[in-house]
């Protein structure tokens, strides 16, 4: 059976990915800063300091890396701190996973990600996508969700307002604009697991590709 490793396992999407993987895999691995009390019994937790991990650590063998690590500029405190997490940490972990034998990566990015964007957040996301596409993975699944819906451990007031507004505006986002619709984090996680064996190469997933039932 394939071995999965989840990074960002206490975040909104990563926690759902881990819980759903725990139902279908013998012992998925979770790389996290601290082990939560509600971790499924069959999950193998690895507590790390990300700076130390990237400087001198390594990752156990895995076949599939679910890279769900991310923050916001407001939470990080600055653009530099945000980029350290969303680009440096994520790329470093992807490199380590590829070195440890992973052949598949599923990356949570963002709708609108573009390495040439004038928006710092979207530019960073796009640059990460481009950097990961240069790594030695046989399958790269890139997920570009709009606003993520779900209960976070750390409440974000702006996102709470956005979640309320999404109920009003989502029905009007049709055809090409449908990619900007909000998505339940649990449904995105389900989509990521279902597409673990998607075709080789680089695969992009937007709202129309998500499991929304």
Residues taking part in catalysis: 121, 125
Q: Which residues contact 118 (CB under 8 A, 6 or more apart)?
A: none
Chain CA centroid to CA 197, Å: 17
Q: Which residues contact 179 (CB under 8 A, 6 or more apart)?
A: 111, 144, 146, 206, 207, 208
The rounded distance, in Å, linking the Cα atoms of 9 and 29 is 9
Alpha helix stretches (DSSP H) within 30-119: 50-56, 73-76, 79-83, 90-99
Q: Which residues contact 155 (CB under 8 A, 6 or more apart)?
A: none
């Amino acid at each position: 059976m394939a071995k999965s490793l989840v990074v960002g396992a206490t975040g909104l999407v990563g926690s759902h990915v881990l819980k759903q993987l725990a139902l279908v895999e013998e012992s998925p691995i979770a790389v996290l800063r601290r082990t939560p009390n509600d971790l499924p019994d069959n999950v193998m937790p690895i507590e790390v300091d990300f700076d130390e991990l990237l400087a001198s650590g390594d990752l156990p063998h895995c076949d599939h890396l679910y890279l769900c690590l991310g923050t916001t500029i407001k939470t990080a405190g600055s653009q530099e701190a945000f980029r350290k997490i969303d680009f440096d940490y994520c790329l470093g972990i992807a490199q380590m996973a590829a070195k440890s034998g992973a052949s598949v990566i599923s990356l949570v990015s963002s709708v609108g990600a573009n390495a040439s964007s004038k928006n710092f957040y979207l530019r960073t996301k796009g640059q990460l996508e481009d950097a990961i596409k240069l790594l030695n993975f046989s399958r790269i699944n890139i997920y570009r969700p709009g606003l993520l819906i779900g209960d976070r451990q750390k409440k974000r007031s702006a996102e709470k307002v956005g979640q309320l507004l999404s109920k009003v505006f989502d029905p009007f986002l049709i055809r090409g604009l449908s990619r900007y619709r909000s998505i339940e984090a649990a449904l995105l996680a389900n989509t990521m697991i279902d597409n673990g064996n998607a075709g080789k190469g680089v695969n992009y997933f937007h709202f129309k590709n998500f499991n929304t039932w």
